[in-house]
A and B are shown apart, each in its own frame.
Chain A
Amino acid sequence: GAVVSQHPSRVICKSGTSVKIECRSLDFQATTMFWYRQFPKQSLMLMATSNEGSKATYEQGVEKDKFLINHASLTLSTLTVTSAHPEDSSFYICSARALETQYFGPGTRLLVL
Chain B
Amino acid sequence: QKEVEQNSGPLSVPEGAIASLNCTYSDRVSQSFFWYRQYSGKSPELIMSIYSNGDKEDGRFTAQLNKASQYVSLLIRDSQPSDSATYLCAVNNAGGTSYGKLTFGQGTILTVHP
Contacts and interface: CB of A to CB of B under 8 A. Distances in A.
Interface string A88-110: 00010100010011111111000
B43 A106 contact: yes
- Chain A, interface size category, equals 10 to 19
B92 A100 contact: yes
A1 to B, nearest CB: 12
B43 A101 contact: no
B34 A101 contact: yes
A43 B101 contact: no
B22 interface: no
Contacts of A97: 100
Interface stretch (B10-18, B44-52, B66-74, B75-83): B44-52
A44 B104 CA distance: 7
A77 interface: no
A49 B98 CA distance: 10
Given A43-B88, A46-B102, A57-B97, 16 more contacts: A34-B100, A34-B102, A43-B107, A44-B88, A91-B43, A100-B32, A100-B51, A100-B92, A100-B100, A101-B49, A102-B34, A102-B100, A104-B36, A104-B43, A106-B42, A106-B43
Interface of B: 31-32, 34, 36, 42-46, 49, 51, 88, 90, 92, 97, 100-102, 104-107
